[in-house]
Structure 1
Amino acid sequence: MQTDALLDRFLTSLAPLAPVAVWAHGSLAGGDYQEGRSDLDLIAVLERPATLSTVRRVVILHRALRVEPLATKLHCSYAAADRLGDPGHKHLTWAHDHVLRRTVTPVTRRELHAFGRVLHGRPPAGLLPPVSDRELGDFVVRDQREFWRPAVDKARLWKQDIWVDLGLMTFARATVTLREGRLISKRESLDLLPGLGAPAEVVADIRRRRYADPHPSNAEWTARRGELTRSYLGPAIDALVTAYG
């Protein structure tokens, strides 16, 4: 698989940074990975905090990977081992073809402990502090209230596949986490969405593009799909936040 070839090359290129561990989370670890469609979400744990020299090495490393077909989908946070205990710390991250800073969210931390895939070195237990149910729930509510709910009011966003897909799947996953305290896959979220009142034709569209035919939608359906999604998500998020916030 192209994914395996990319990961092998990435791990070899990473050797000069001497990572303590490299972990996969998200779809790659959770069993719902779709080659060519899913992102490869990784965390490399370094012995020391990133320096300017580390940033340069990371940029060179990822630019060299561009010859690999799936390289643009590989996202990696470079976390210092002694900073993993600080949930608010923003770690050096390569994503979307550039350097930025990101936290390791409670959802990611729970994923790593529950089903994280160890690609190199030590497992998450012992390096990464666990996340409590309260911390996870508070984060999920805050994400729905402060990120997704304001985004619903920006109509232009919902003409894009990624907003429709992630908006609905993240809502379903948040609902299960708050109700039952567990994480579910994107595939499972699609199975649950109709029962949560989501528009069935939009859910079918996401499933088709994710698991069958990725051919883009026409402009008329794209516009209608966006409005159906926004009309559903706004009240649904409001109700979820009211119930659990």
Structure 2
Amino acid sequence: MQTDALLDRFLAHLAPLDPVAVWAHGSLAGGDYQEGRSDLDLIAVLDGIGPRTVWRLALLHARLRREPLSPLLHCTYLTPTTMEDPARPHLTWAHEELYKRPVTPVTRTELHAFGRVLHGRPPAGLLPPVPDGQLTRFVVRDQRDYWRPALADARLWTRDVWVDLGLLTFARASATLSDGRLISKREALDLLPGLGAPGELVEDIRGRRYGTPVPLGEEWTARRAELTRAYLGPAIDALVASYG
């Protein structure tokens, strides 16, 4: 598999930095990984991250750019002394650039529940557990403060990634808030009809993620955006009202 080859090369390039641990989360760890479509979501723990280490990480990822699937490889870099705060931004390589972002309570819960150890120590030995209530508070806040305002920008919802993530993240949030489950994207897709999502949208996502994608015409792209926004707005409002 190209995925295994890329992970082997990544770990080989990272080895000179002597990582404490490297973990996979998301679909790569949770059993719903689709090669060439799913992101490769990784966490690496290093003893320290100074300016020289940042430069070496940038060079590492630049060397991987020609590898198949490399645009899908995302890695956040933690240190044992900075990983406790879920709101703290950490150096991250994603979308082919370095920037900073937090390791959310969802990711932390995934790592403890089914994180895949690629190197070194397991999450349970390093990463603090997610306290009671922190996960649900984050999920409500994410729906209320990120996804709900994003619906105001109609242009975003003409893009596949916004339709897919918007609907699937809502379904996953619904499962987490109703019974504490972390579900896969496949499970979220199966859940959406029962949550009242239009069947056209569900099948659109299913074909793109699990079938053979077909080019979209402008008419369907525009209609899909309207359907998504019309569904998600009231759905998110109801979810937040119930659990916020």
Query: Does TM, normalized by the shorter one, top 0.5?
Result: yes
Output one character per residue of 1:105-128: Cα deviation in whole Å (capped at 9) or x when no partner.
000000000000000000000200
Paired with 1:127 and 1:216, the residues of 2 have a C-alpha distance of 45
Query: TM-score, normalized by length of structure 2?
Result: 0.99
Output one character per residue of 1:19-65: Cα deviation in whole Å (capped at 9) or x when no partner.
000000001001000000000000000112x1111110011000100
Residue 93 of structure 2 aligns with which residue?
94
Paired with 1:86 and 1:199, the residues of 2 have a C-alpha distance of 38
Paired with 2:151 and 2:87, the residues of 1 have a C-alpha distance of 26
Q: Unaligned regions of 5+ residues in structure 2, if any?
A: none
Q: Output the amino acid matched with 1:226.
A: A
Shift of 1:141: 0.3
What aligned pairs does 1:87-236 form with structure 2 within 5 A after superposition?
87-236=86-235
Shift of 1:133: 3.7
Output one character per residue of 1:149-205: Cα deviation in whole Å (capped at 9) or x when no partner.
000111000000000000000000000100101100000000000000001111001
Output one character per residue of 1:179-234: Cα deviation in whole Å (capped at 9) or x when no partner.
10110000000000000000111100100010011223111111101100100000
Q: Output the amino acid matched with 1:8.
A: D
Q: Output the amino acid matched with 2:180.
A: G
Shift of 1:77: 0.5
Helix, strand or coil at the partner of 1:101: strand
Aligned pair count? Answer: 244
Q: Output the amino acid matched with 2:128.
A: P
Residue 54 of structure 1 aligns with which residue?
53
Moved over 3 A (4+): none
- Segment drifting more, 59-68 vs 215-224: 215-224
Paired with 2:234 and 2:8, the residues of 1 have a C-alpha distance of 45
Residue 5 of structure 2 aligns with which residue?
5
Paired with 1:180 and 1:73, the residues of 2 have a C-alpha distance of 31
- Segment drifting more, 209-218 vs 141-150: 209-218
Shift of 1:136: 0.1
Shift of 1:84: 1.2
Query: TM-score, normalized by length of structure 1?
Result: 0.98
Q: Does 1:30 align with 2:30?
A: yes
Q: Output the amino acid matched with 1:174.
A: A
Output one character per residue of 1:89-142: Cα deviation in whole Å (capped at 9) or x when no partner.
211111111110011100000000000000000000020011134000000000
- For the 8 Å contact 1:20–1:45, the answer to whether it is kept is yes
Paired with 1:18 and 1:216, the residues of 2 have a C-alpha distance of 45
**How many percent of aligned residue pairs carry the same amino acid?**
71
Residue 73 of structure 1 aligns with which residue?
72
- For the 8 Å contact 1:112–1:124, the answer to whether it is kept is yes
- For the 8 Å contact 1:22–1:43, the answer to whether it is kept is yes
